[in-house]
Amino acid sequence: MIYKGSATALVTPFNDDKSVNYSELERLVDFQIENGTDALVICGTTGEASTLSDDEQIEVIRTAVVRANHRVPVIGGAGSNDTAHGVELCKRSQAAGADAVVLVTPYYNKTTQKGLVVHYKAMAKAIDIPIVLYNIPGRTGLALEPETIFTLCTETDTIIALKEASGNYEKISRTAQLCADRLDMYSGNDNEILPIMSLGGKGVISTVANVVPKEIHEMTSLFMDGKIEEAAKIQLKLIPLINALFKEVNPIPVKAALAMMGFKTGGYRPPLVEMENANYENLRREMQSVLEKQ
C-alpha cells in the first residue's frame, strides 16, 4: 500500500511570467505535510501537467521529493496518450525519486480495453515503483472497465491502486468485488470520499485538500477509526466549499483559493484563465471560514 487517508493533488505555482515557482512549491509541500496530509500527488490534472514541458514536470516532481524528504510518499503524474512517451515519463519520474506514479487513461486518440492493457503493461514493465491507475472518463472520454482493471492488477506486480473518478457506482462496486485485496482504491472526487471508502476504499486523492488539508485528513482518519457519523459530518459540511471549488475547470478555483490564503500561485497557463467574477465572489464567501482560521 502506498498510503492510507488523504493525498493532496497539489497545484503547480507559477511566477508572474508563468515559469514554475519552485520556492513556493516547497512552501506548499511544507504546508500540506504540517497539516496532516498523508501523501502528495504532483503534476496531475490539478498540477497543470498538460502545459508543463517534460523537463519542468520532472523537476517539479524532484523538487517535491526533496522537500518532502520521506515525510510522506510523493506520487508523480506520468500519464500520456502516447505509450512510448508515458514509458519515458515513468522512467524519469522514478529516477527523480517518486515513490509511485499515477497514470491517466489515454485521451483524445483513446483506445480499446485491449489497448489499455498493452498501454499500462508497457509502463509496469518499465519501472519498479507502484502504479496508480486513474479512471476519469469525463476528461479522457475513455473508461477503465472493471475487468480490465482486474487483468492489470493480477497480471502485473506494480499496478496496485486506482484513483476512481467515474462516478459510476455500479462499475465501482464491480471493481471492488473483482479486485478485492489486490487493489487499493482511492476516491478521485472530493464529494464522493466516504461513498468510495464505504466500498473498501483506502482514502482520497483530493483537490480540496490543497485548501483544507487538515479537514480531509481528519475525515478519512475518522472513517477508518469507525467514527462514521463524525466523518460524514465533515463530508457534508465541506460540500458548499467543494461545489465552489469546482464551479469552473480545475485547477482554476483552487489556485484562486490558495491565493486568497496568501500563497503565490501565479495564475494559470493558457488555455486556463482567471475565474468569472460571480464564481470568484461565491468562492470567496465559501472560503471565509477557512480564512478566519488562518
As annotated, the active-site residues are 134, 163
3-state helix, strand, coil in the chain (%, to 5): 50, 15, 35
Instruction: Give the burial class of 26: count Cβ atoms within 10 A of its Cβ; 0-12 exposed, 13-18 middle, 19 or more buried.
Output: middle
Distance CA 162, CA 90 (A): 17
Q: Shortest CA distance to 166 belongs to which of 184, 198, 192?
A: 192
Q: In whole angstroms, how far apart are CA 204 and each of 37, 63, 191, 271?
A: 11, 23, 10, 27
The sign one gets for the Cα dihedral 9, 10, 16, 22 is negative
Distance CA 179, CA 88 (A): 28
Any bridge partners for residue 20, and if so which? Answer: 14
- Residue position matching grid coordinates 508572474: 16
Distance CA 211, CA 209 (A): 5
- The Cβ of residue 75 has, within 10 Å, a number of other Cβ atoms equal to 31
Distance of CA 222 to the CA centre of its chain: 21
Q: Where are the beta strands (DSSP E) in 166-272?
A: 184-187, 203-206
SS3 per residue for 162-174: EEECCCCHHHHHH
